[in-house]
Amino acid sequence: MIKKLLGLLIWVVAFNISAHELKTIDEIHSAYKNNKITAQQLTQGYIKRINQLNPQFNAVINIEPTAVTQAKKIDELSAQGLWAGPLHGIPVLLKDNIETTGSLPTTAGSLALKNNITNNDAFVVKQLRNAGAIILGKTNLSEWANFRSSYSSSGWSAVGGQTHNAHDTTRNPCGSSSGSAVAIALNFAPVALGTETDGSITCPASVNGVYAIKPSMGQVSRSGVVPLSSSQDSVGPMAHSLKDARLVLSVLQGRDPLDTSTHSFELQAQYKVTKSSLVIGALPSDKFTVETQRLYKKQLSALKKAGHTVVNINISDDLATLFVDEYYVLLYDFKKEINQYLANTPDQVKIKSLSALIDFNIQNKATEMPHFGQDILIQANAIDLTQTDKYQKTKHRYRTLATAAITNLYKNNNVDVVIAPTTSPAWKTDLVNGDNFKGSSSSLSAIAGTTHITLPAGQVSGLPVGLSIIANKNQPQAAYQHAQIIDTVFISHIKKPE
């Protein structure tokens, strides 16, 4: 008994490392096991860091009131020599379109949902809790997942204001999972979840210099997440390492009867690299900034010097209809699915339809539309949901085209992996004219439903630029192995300021 009490005393007082010094899951678990920090101390350290720095960046909307209590329970398990799971005592931040039990609302950034306290854990949150994670809070996002205005500023919401890039507060964080990416870059937590319909995980991760995974369709459930489009929506992790992002994804995945797209595929948490030399297909970078093109050449040179073969490839398929079709599918899905979601919100939420939401925004123009309007919401509301044949044909056409474009890149060029810059460096935030994207590599993976990984791969003038790994259809395991090989090269040779 005395020995147990002494061990507990050492566990409580032996605080000789601060939360901001710990980034990866392995580092945190090692600190726990070596009595250098407790889960309570770690959690309180993150909360203190958020309180100190968040006013400058607007990355976090709310701290979960039970976070410290959750941490104490983890410490009680640790004192008994027990382990809660692969994410034992790991604090996680959630994009504020992901529902949680308790008192926090799930707002999607909109004041119309400021009272949306569902007291429900999304499937992914249940998975996190079952793995021993601590739910730390909610992050800011582009309102309605950046599907409100053609002239929006990514990272802005009426609830959370404008999120700022972690490396330069005058620059944009990209969206819509802005707060999650900025929070990881600032080490507000070791792990955060984002959601993506097309680029909303990978772009913010790229411009803030963190690792992220947009998983394959059906790998991770969307139940308990405010919807944009069931055709493309994904939930995925952001972290300080590819290993951590992969581990978190292995926790999130699973079949969910509330999301019929989910299947029994299971990502292996650990894997063996089976190839020492890759044939890498490099997509062109001419749509990105000149500085990004220069960095890309440096990345390709480093890969060649490391013994890999780099082949310049290009998309041979005609994508003329792809983006028009995508926009129609998203408008159709959003109208149908947001109406269903709003109709089933708690009684205290008074906005029960897309039409009511549009009226709410007009009535609250000063707070909801001080910078840009809601033309996308209006276009979505005008969609005729009875045109199911048109919708199904369009969806089949665009998904078939995107899938063929990816598979042909692999088949026609006989490559192991396809890469491209994720996006250009962050642009200056402009609340008058909106976003200023310079290139993106997200759409084919988003539409085809394949895995898309982004790695921090260098900087341009102190601003991060990510590199995309675009997985072949039904080959995510290979993509993770190849991403690890490429990341190892970049860690050694590329990740230095320009």
pLDDT of 7: 40
**Helical spans, DSSP H, in 186-272:** 202-208, 242-252
95 carries an active-site annotation: yes
Tokens standing for residue 251: 């926790």
Q: Report how far residue 432's alpha carbon sits from residue 106's, in angstroms, rounded to the nearest whole number.
A: 28
pLDDT of 19: 72
Q: Which of helix, strand or coil describes residue 296?
A: helix
Q: Show the CA angle centred on residue 22, arms to residues 42 and 55, nearest 5°.
A: 70
Q: Report how far residue 92's alpha carbon sits from residue 138's, in angstroms, rounded to the nearest whole number.
A: 9
- What backbone torsions phi and psi does residue 312 show, to the nearest 5 degrees? -75, 125
CB contact at 8 A, 14 and 178: no
Q: Which of 110, 154, 200, 441 is flagged as catalytic?
A: 200
The amino acid sitting at 180 is S
- What backbone torsions phi and psi does residue 200 show, to the nearest 5 degrees? -80, -10
Burial 252-273, CB ≥16 within 10 A → b, else e: bbbebeebebbeeeebeeeeee
Largest Cα span, the chain: 74
pLDDT of 20: 72
pLDDT of 157: 98
Distances (CA, A) of 396 to 93, 144, 329, 336, 447: 35, 25, 10, 18, 11
pLDDT of 13: 38
pLDDT tens column, 330-377 = 999 999 999 999 999 999 999 999 999 999 999 999 999 999 999 999
pLDDT of 1: 41
Sign of CA pseudo-dihedral 413, 417, 423, 425: negative
CB count within 10 Å of CB 15 equals 15
CB contact at 8 A, 179 and 166: no
Q: Which of 176, 221, 223, 241 is flagged as catalytic?
A: 176
200 carries an active-site annotation: yes
Does this model's pTM top 0.85?
A: yes
pLDDT tens column, 65-88 = 999 999 999 999 999 999 999 999
pLDDT of 493: 76
Q: Say which residues have a Cβ less than 8 Å from residue 190's Cβ, sequence separation at least 6.
A: 22, 23, 24, 25, 28, 90, 91, 92, 184, 239, 240, 244
**Helical spans, DSSP H, in 241-353:** 242-252, 290-305, 322-343
Q: Say which residues have a Cβ less than 8 Å from residue 78's Cβ, sequence separation at least 6.
A: 11, 32, 38, 39, 88, 89
- β-pair type (134-139, 60-63): antiparallel
Q: Which of 36, 95, 243, 395 is flagged as catalytic?
A: 95
- What backbone torsions phi and psi does residue 155 show, to the nearest 5 degrees? 90, 0
CA-wise closest residue to 471 among 449, 439, 440, 455: 449
pLDDT of 118: 98
> In the chain, which stretches have pLDDT less than 50?
1-15, 496-498
Distances (CA, A) of 28 to 36, 62, 239, 260: 9, 23, 13, 35
Query: Sheet harboring 91-95: ordered strands across?
Result: 60-63, 134-139, 91-95, 191-196, 234-239, 211-214, 452-460, 463-470, 417-421, 279-282, 309-312
Q: Report how far residue 380's alpha carbon sits from residue 267's, in angstroms, rounded to the nearest whole number.
A: 35
176 carries an active-site annotation: yes
Q: Show the CA angle centred on residue 319, arms to residues 313 and 322, nearest 5°.
A: 135
